[in-house]
Amino acid sequence: MTEEVAAAKAAAAEYKSSDKDGAGPATVFDNILSGEWGSTKVHEDDVSLAFRDINPQAPVHVVVIPKHRDGLTKLSNAREDQKDILGHLMYVAQLVGKKECPEGFRVVVNDGEHGAQSVYHLHLHVLGGRQMGWPPG
């Protein structure tokens, strides 16, 4: 089992055992958003933050998150009234991708334990700076 899969399994267990209000437990992203932990910001606006991943999986690896989780612990929890924020996150991902990876990029969303999600605060990974392979995973 890889470190990422082990981290995802541990995060899923913590998420499942949280208080079941849909918010999930506090995450590292809460610490970044509060300013308690630093990050290398790439983009920020009223509703989103994009920053460099501390464990990059490609030469360019940027994480895009909503500033207010509002139950968006994972993509499969998205509600119809959250379509605007989902679209905004994709728009920010393409802004970052075009700027940082002019030859092309990949956007990844990990969802749940089998999707290897290790942080239960919806986030998009923008990966690039090299040729991506297929199939992923």
Paired tokens of 74: 């994972």
In the annotation, is 123 catalytic? yes
| Cis geometry, peptide bond prior to residue 56 (ω within 30 degrees of 0) | no
Q: What is the DSSP string of 80-135?
A: GGGHHHHHHHHHHHHHHHHHH-TT-EEEE---TTTTT--SSS--EEEEESSPPPSS
Confidence of residue 86 (pLDDT cuts 50, 70, 90): very high
Rounded to the nearest integer, the mean pLDDT of the chain is 91
Contact between residue 96 and residue 42 where contact means Cβ atoms under 8 Å apart: yes
- Which pLDDT belongs to residue 9? 72
Confidence of residue 39 (pLDDT cuts 50, 70, 90): very high
Checking if the pLDDT of 71 tops 80, the result is yes
**What is the tens place of the pLDDT at every residue in 93-133?**
999 999 999 999 999 999 999 999 999 999 999 999 999 99
- Which pLDDT belongs to residue 19? 53
Residue of 68, 88, 114, 123 marked catalytic: 123
